């Protein structure tokens, strides 16, 4: 491989790394909204408020947002 190929591979891998980081950050922010449609989770079941985390309460065995 010549130097140009190595340079292009390095640039592409850096760009892919940045893209992956951006995707991970965006997913973390949107996960809460995705799972908590209509203020209550369809997927996360609970028995107490402690299982739901901060700003959520357990209602009817589902974690719900507190306004």
* Owning domain of residue 15: 3-65
**Which residues make Cβ contacts (< 8 Å) with residue 19, sequence separation at least 6?**
none
Q: What is the DSSP string of the chain?
A: --HHHHHHHHHHHHHHHHHHHHHHHHHHHHHHHHH-GGGEEEEEE-SSGGGT-TTEEEETTEEEE--
Work out how many domains the chain is built from and give that number: 1
Task: Identify any residues that bridge with 58 across adjacent strands, giving them in sequence order.
Answer: 63
pLDDT in tens, the chain (67 residues): 677 888 899 999 999 999 888 777 666 555 555 555 667 877 778 898 888 888 888 988 888 888 7
Residue with tokens 């995705």: 34
């Amino acid at each position: 491989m010549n130097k140009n190929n190595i340079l292009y591979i390095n640039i592409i891998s850096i760009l892919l790394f940045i893209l992956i980081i951006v995707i991970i950050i965006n997913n973390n922010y949107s996960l809460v909204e995705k799972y908590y449609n209509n203020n209550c989770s369809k997927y996360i079941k609970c028995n107490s408020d402690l299982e739901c985390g901060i700003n959520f309460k357990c209602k009817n065995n589902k974690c719900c947002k507190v306004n």
